[in-house]
Amino acid sequence: MNVYSADQFKRRLYRPDLVREKLAGDPNGLVKAAAAKLDLNNMLASGQAPKVRLATALARVEDQGRGVGQVEWRVNGVVFGVSKPDASVHVQSLRKSLSLASGENRIEVVALTSRAMSRLCLQE
C-alpha cells in the first residue's frame, strides 16, 4: 500500500475560487468543468513526491550596537535550538542543522540583543 501526503496534491486540488463558486450554486459551471478534468488516477500515477530535508540552515547575524545575546532557531513556531554567538565579532555566520516535518516548513531565526538577554535573566 502506498501512502501519499495531501501536500503532494495541494497545488492541484486547493481551489478556494471553486469553493466560492460552488457556494454560489456554480452559476458559471466552473465547478462542473473542473470536476470533469480531475483525474485522481493520473495524479497518483505520477508517484510519490521526493522527500526533501534541509540539512543545514545558515544565518548572518550583524550587531547593530546593542550586542548579540543569543539566536533562536525556530521551525514551525517552535524553538528548535539556541546559538550563543561570539560577542566580540560584529558580523558572523551561524549554522544550524534542522530536522523538518514532511511538507511545508517555516524556518525563523530570531536574534536577541545582549540587553534583552539581561532583562530576561533578571525576570527569571
pLDDT band of residue 31 (cuts 50, 70, 90) is: very high
69-98 pLDDT, tens digit each: 889 999 888 998 999 888 888 899 999 988
- Regarding predicted confidence, which is higher, 124 or 10? 10
Q: Are 111 and 61 in a shared domain?
A: yes
Hunting for cell 516548513 — which residue is that?
Answer: 105
Judged against a pLDDT cut of 60, whether residue 123 lies above it is answered with no
47-71 pLDDT, tens digit each: 877 776 666 888 999 998 888 888 9
Q: What are phi and psi of 63, to 5 degrees?
A: -65, 130
What pLDDT was estimated at residue 117? 53
- How large is the average pLDDT for residues 97-112? 85
Q: Are 67 and 112 in a shared domain?
A: yes
Q: Are 78 and 37 in a shared domain?
A: no
- Burial 76-96, CB ≥16 within 10 A → b, else e: eeeebeebebeeeeeebebeb
11: buried, middle or exposed (CB in 10 Å: 19+, 13-18, 0-12)?
exposed
The tally of domains found in the chain comes to 2
In a domain, 99, yes or no: yes
Sign of the C-alpha dihedral, residues 111, 64, 115, 67? positive
Domain that holds residue 16: 7-45
Judged against a pLDDT cut of 60, whether residue 101 lies above it is answered with yes
